[in-house]
Amino acid sequence: MQKQNTKNAFSERLSNYRSAERRKLLLSLSITSIVMIVELIGGFLTHSIALISDAGHMFTHCFAIGISLVAIMIARKPLCHHRTFGLYRAEIVAAFVNALFLLLVVGIIIYEAVLRIIYPREVLSFSMLIIGFIGLSVNMVSIAILHGSHKEDMNVRSVFYHMIADAASSVGIVVAAIIILYTGWNIIDPIVSLGISAMIAYWALGILKQSTTILLEMAPTGLNTDIISDDLKSRFPEIKELFNVHLWTITPDMLVFSAHMVLDQRNGSVIDQDNLIEKVNSYLSERYKIIESTIQTTSKSDAEVCNLDGFRS
């Protein structure tokens, strides 16, 4: 006997999917694009590799927001017979591509910074300081825009933390400009750009790891089928055994679960299977934020056949 979570969770999400996040990301994209252009021009005028590298960082941020917005539009396409889970994974593919792009940019910035260390150039520190302050101010505005939404949505959270990294890199530019202004140590500029590169690489590797985990149909970090199986058997004494248990992620906030379960009927008691499955589905939704679960009850003999065939989870 099989029963699937009655509400079509995927369809219900489409009409308002990421609406607030989309508006905030568009505003953040506009602000960041303006500052990126200012820093890029300022970097060439002041001969500052740190400013240019921070502009590169902001470009990757614009790129990240851009593909995230495109992915949101794609994800809003309705479900159909050949898109049974919809296109929510477009956001994950976008994050994966963005992470790879970030690592490429890091390599370019490191290469340019090393060249600048070997062949130093004079930096116009005062202009660099002014533009650095502009970048820091805009980053703080973007952080204020995204604050709050980052607690509810993984995509916005990644952009929010990226903004924090942007702000930190802007602080680095301001500090470097002040040091150069008073000491003339131009080598501080490429050293700061190397620090910015390390920050970008750390963020990119984290996104790459998370997106790869989702694309490979792995369970989310900190949760697995054993944890859920043990919890369900402890919570519902009617469940004797669970097998063919599967847990996977559509997006970080959309988990899907399926399992076969053998009921404990040793005392000859009659178990209301429909009611039990409904309770299990509700518990999975409330406890683990699983938006869709499919539970199938089966006999002990069926379970033994599956186990012998090596399908036990």
pLDDT confidence tier of residue 170, bands split at 50, 70 and 90:
confident
Percent of the chain with pLDDT over 90: 4
pLDDT at 84: 63
Residue type (1 letter), 295:
I
Close Cβ partners of 235 (under 8 Å, ≥ 6 residues apart): 283
pLDDT at 5: 45
Give the mean pLDDT of 197-219. Answer: 83
- Residue 104: both structure tokens together: 């490429």
Average pLDDT, the chain: 76
Per residue in 86-102, pLDDT tens?
677 777 887 788 788 77
pTM of the shown model = 0.68
How far is Cα 154 from Cα 251, in angstroms, rounded to an integer?
A: 9
Give the mean pLDDT of 300-309. Answer: 51
One of 3.40.640.10, 3.65.10.10, 3.30.70.3400, 1.20.1510.10 is the CATH number of 2-215, namely 1.20.1510.10
pLDDT at 283: 92
pLDDT at 79: 65
Give the mean pLDDT of 151-179. Answer: 72
pLDDT at 308: 46
Protein fold of 225-308: Alpha-Beta Plaits (3.30.70)
Residue 312 reports pLDDT greater than 50: no
Segments making up each domain of the chain, as ranges: 2-215, 225-308
Give the mean pLDDT of 200-208. Answer: 82
pLDDT at 232: 93
Give the three-state DSSP class for 134: helix
- Residue 62: both structure tokens together: 């614009």
pLDDT at 227: 92
